[in-house]
């Protein structure tokens, strides 16, 4: 394509993203100071390449999936955040009291507000983790915290109140038995090994073994069932997009946004930490959306952050936001 054709495609894409209306030749004639015959010829050429297509209800043109792809690969420049939006993110980045998972969740909320799309954070699932250690931390008033740590750097805790007739030292002794026998065991296999290997051992050594056994069983069960590594923010924002004015499309999208298995397919597309864009049929979530994602690895804790929006997405703005987030994640991981 020559420069005019590239600029023409860029204008069609960006104008359609902004207005959500097919772009007619009259507007383009004025914009590029060209005759209608010239614009029609250039649009015919872009259509022949499969980069734009006719809208069914008007004579205007809209970008095709291939057109969006060419735009993001060759024509788009990431947009800088406004001072106000940047300040919102920097406030989160500067909060040293927030653990990384909480900071990422707050960033998702801000990103969803900035872009008006759905934001997703996906940590690795528990079945990809093995036990590194379980610790017992005594608190006041017969309370303890059971702290479960995995080889992937994930840490979960659960607070318990132990009955007055339970000896705290026996709880600690049980944790030592579990650490000795179960370190390296995949998290999903722990419940079975607790029942058939650990329980008989503590039955012989611990007086109130059933009550103490339940503490550890519940701690591991909470770890497996926890949704802390799966966050979806701003589901309703997608419904404000003009693409979703049909009730059937709304139901279809809402069902998918509530389906963890469907959303976790986003993780499977690649393993690099760069920003990747999957338009329409390229993504494994939904043919009618675009998914822009980045992976992260913070001291061994891996995850994925993604933005889900219509194919008519403000690509430059979303990539600009994720660039800022990636930079912070890289600094945090050093």
- Could you report the per-residue pLDDT of 60-72, keeping only the tens digit for each? 899 999 999 999 9
Neighbours of 74 (CB within 10 A): 11
User: 73 phi and psi, to 5 degrees?
Assistant: -85, -25
Alpha-carbon span 135 to 145, nearest angstrom: 8
CATH 1.10.10.10 residue ranges of the chain are 3-75
Contact 52, 64 (CB under 8 A): yes
Give percent above pLDDT 70 in the chain.
91
Higher pLDDT, 221 or 44: 44
pLDDT for res 122: 85
Q: What is the mean pLDDT of residues 235-261?
A: 84
Contact present, 275 and 304 (Cβ < 8 Å)? no
Residue 142's alpha-carbon distances to 86, 157, 214, 250, in angstroms, are 46, 16, 16, 50
Work out the pLDDT band at 263, boundaries 50, 70, 90.
Answer: confident
Average pLDDT over residues 95-113: 81
- Contact between residue 278 and residue 269 where contact means Cβ atoms under 8 Å apart: yes
Distance CA 150, CA 156 (A): 9
Q: Distance between CA 68 and CA 297 in Å, rounded?
A: 29
| High-pLDDT (> 90) share of the chain, % | 39
Task: List residues bridging with 119 in a β-sheet.
Answer: 233, 307
Residue 159 has pLDDT above 90, yes or no: no
What pLDDT score does 251 carry? Answer: 84
Q: Report the alpha-carbon distance of residue 103 to residue 111 in Å, rounded.
A: 12
Is the per-residue pLDDT at 274 higher than 60?
Answer: yes
Q: What are the two backbone dihedrals, phi and then psi, of residue 34, each rounded to the nearest 5 degrees?
A: -125, 160
Residues of the chain with CATH 3.30.390.60: 127-225
Give residue 296's pLDDT. 81
| pTM, rounded to two decimals | 0.72
pLDDT at 242: 86
Question: What CATH number was assigned to the domain covering residues 127-225?
Answer: 3.30.390.60
Name the residue with tokens 């693409």: 243
Burial class from Cβ neighbours inside 10 Å (0-12, 13-18, 19+) for residue 67 reads: buried
Average pLDDT over residues 90-108: 80
pLDDT at residue 97, rounded to an integer: 73
Contact in structure between 114 and 321 (CB atoms under 8 Å): yes
Residue extent(s) of CATH 3.30.450.40 domains in the chain:
83-124+229-333
Categorize the per-residue pLDDT at 270 as very low, low, confident or very high, splitting at 50, 70 and 90. Answer: low
Q: Which CATH number fits domain 3-75: 2.60.40.10, 1.10.10.10, 3.30.470.160, 3.40.50.620?
A: 1.10.10.10
Task: Please compute, for residue 138, the number of CA atoms within 13 A of its CA located in the half-sphere on the CB side.
Answer: 10
Residue-wise pLDDT tens digits, 196-233: 999 999 999 998 889 999 888 888 887 665 555 678 89
| DSSP code of residue 130 | B
Range in 44-53, 243-252, 314-323 the model is least confident about: 243-252
What architecture is domain 83-124+229-333? 2-Layer Sandwich (3.30)
SS3 314: coil
């Amino acid at each position: 394509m020559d420069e005019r054709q590239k600029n023409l495609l860029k204008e069609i894409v960006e104008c359609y993203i902004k207005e959500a209306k097919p772009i007619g030749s009259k507007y383009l004639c004025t914009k590029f100071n060209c005759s209608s015959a010239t614009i029609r010829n250039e649009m015919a050429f872009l259509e022949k390449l499969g980069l734009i297509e006719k809208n069914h209800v008007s004579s205007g043109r809209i970008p095709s999936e291939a057109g969006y792809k060419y735009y993001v690969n060759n024509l788009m420049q990431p947009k800088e955040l406004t001072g106000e939006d940047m300040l919102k993110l920097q406030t989160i980045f500067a909060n040293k009291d927030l653990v990384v998972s909480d900071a990422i969740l707050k960033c998702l909320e801000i990103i969803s507000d900035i872009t008006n799309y759905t934001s997703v954070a996906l940590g690795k699932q528990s079945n990809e983790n093995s036990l590194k250690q379980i610790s017992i931390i005594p608190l006041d008033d017969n309370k303890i915290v059971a702290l479960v740590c995995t080889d992937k750097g994930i840490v979960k805790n659960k607070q318990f109140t132990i009955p007055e007739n339970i000896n705290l030292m026996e709880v600690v002794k049980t944790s030592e038995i579990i650490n000795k026998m179960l370190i390296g065991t995949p998290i999903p296999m722990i419940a079975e090994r607790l029942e058939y290997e650990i329980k008989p051992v503590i039955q012989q050594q611990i007086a109130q073994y059933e009550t103490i056994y339940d503490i550890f069983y519940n701690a591991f069960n909470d770890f497996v069932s926890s949704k802390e590594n799966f966050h979806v923010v701003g589901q309703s924002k997608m419904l404000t997009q003009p693409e979703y004015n049909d009730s059937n499309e709304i139901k279809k999208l809402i069902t998918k946004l509530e389906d963890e298995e469907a959303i976790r397919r986003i993780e499977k597309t690649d393993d690099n930490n760069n920003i990747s864009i999957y338009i329409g049929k390229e993504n494994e979530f939904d043919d009618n959306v675009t998914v822009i994602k980045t992976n992260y690895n913070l001291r061994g804790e891996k995850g994925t952050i993604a933005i889900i929006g219509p194919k008519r997405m403000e690509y430059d703005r979303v990539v600009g936001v994720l660039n800022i987030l990636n930079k912070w994640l890289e600094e945090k991981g050093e």
